[in-house]
Amino acid sequence: MKLLFLACLSPKTGNYTTAERIRSHIESAGHSCELRDVADFHSPSDLAHLVSQNPPFEGALAIHLFKAGRLLLDLRLPFGVIFGGTDINEDVKDEQKRVVMEQVLRKARFAVAFTEKLKEEAEFVLVSPDSKIYVQPQGIQTEVAEQFCWTEFLRSSEWHSKNLHNILIIIGPKVDPALTAEVETVVKRATGVFLAQERSQQELHAAMKRCYAVVNSSVSEGMSAAILEAMDLRVPVLARNIPGNAAVVKHGVTGLLFSSPQEFVHQSQRLLSDQELRERVVRSGKLYVEEHHSVKQERETYQRLVDKLHKAQFLA
């Protein structure tokens, strides 16, 4: 089956990694699956043009009901959707967007939520006639680059005056210009805090592996693949206590949670001084990821779901 896969594909983001992994699951079942960035399509007619190519696409998949799924509404292709982070946390607050998302959900042959909670929230805010929402957590796979060095950070004079354990490195692509400017200003004033550019996933994993802990201080909701990857790499996690993080980090078991800067320092010190705690957290984190975020299971789910599209094609 020839499938079109629409997603928001800024390079080196979690979305991109997720889309690539799901694409490879689909191709390993013998289908062809073309991944396209929603940013390349300005109207549904741009997409209609692509879809009518020869040989034509026979089905579609989209991550984000609003950003990507809505482009599929007018096409005569059976499709499935995967809930994106902002769908339920942000986009539903806008009534017009919510109505579009409801249409997308109604027309979709299936929808996938990464967590049980997201599924419940989706069913609460969007009318979904039958239960077509499946729960499939993201599969987590880590690979560490062999060659990796910290030169970029060593250049900073702070390095010599600080203990390695006391520095914080913020790493990732500059996605939002306003937020980036704000972060840069704060970092300039802080000592021991460094900004680093995004890098390949293997290099990022190599960097994480060399850290004492991975921190997530996000205040906005979502599901952190970085936290799960840290667990998979056996690196302890310190995360802000918000529902998205608390869903994967059980305090004192799979990681440590904090709600204030003071608590962050306190929990970090605990982690530094209590070797047994560190070992326990690392062990349980690894087990948690293996049990709940298996790539093998993710592959089986998407292959089964794509079979639904395959069958739908003949019923249409």
- Does the protein bind ligand NAG through residue 115 (CB under 6 A)? no
Applying CB under 6 A, the span of 32-40, 109-117, 216-224, 282-290 interacting with ligand NAG comes to: 216-224
178 vs 219, beta carbon nearer ligand NAG: 219
CA 34 to chain centre: 20
Asked if 233 and 209 touch (Cβ cutoff 8 Å), the reply is yes
**Counting contacts by CB under 6 A, is residue 173 touching ligand NAG?**
no
The least CB distance from residue 82 to ligand NAG, in Å, is 16
Residue 223 is a binding residue for ligand NAG (CB under 6 A)? yes
Please identify, among the stretches 128-136, 150-158, 214-222, 255-263, the one whose residues bind ligand NAG according to the rule CB under 6 A. 214-222
CB of 217 to ligand NAG, least distance (A): 8
Question: Counting contacts by CB under 6 A, is residue 4 touching ligand NAG?
Answer: no
Kindly tell me the burial class for residue 78, based on how many C-beta atoms sit within 10 Å of its own C-beta (0-12, 13-18, 19 or more): buried
Rounded least distance, CB 235 to ligand NAG, Å = 12
- The pair phi, psi for residue 19, each rounded to 5°, is -60, -45
Q: Under the criterion CB under 6 A, does residue 224 sit at the interface with ligand NAG? A: yes
> What is the H or E stretch that residue 258 is in?
strand 256-258
Q: Does residue 13 belong to the site contacting ligand NAG (CB under 6 A)?
A: no
- What whole-number distance in Å separates Cα of residue 298 and Cα of residue 86? 22
Which residue is listed with tokens 């499946």? 134
Contacting ligand NAG (CB under 6 A), which of 62, 227, 256, 289?
Answer: 227
Output the residue with the shortest Cβ distance to ligand NAG: 222
φ, ψ of residue 225 in degrees (nearest 5): -70, -35
Number of residues lying near ligand NAG (CB under 6 A): 11
Cβ nearer to ligand NAG, comparing 73 with 167: 167
In our burial notation (b when 16+ CB lie closer than 10 A, e otherwise), range 117-145 reads ebbebbeeebebeeebbbebbbbbbbebe
Q: Which is nearer to ligand NAG, 58 or 87 (CB)?
A: 87
Q: Sign of torsion, CA 130 18 62 316?
A: negative
Instruction: Tell me if 216 contacts ligand NAG by CB under 6 A.
Output: yes
Sheet holding 256-258, edge to edge: 214-216, 237-240, 256-258
- Footprint on residues 53-72 left by ligand NAG (CB under 6 A): none
Residues in contact with ligand NAG by CB under 6 A are 216, 218, 220-224, 226-227, 244-245
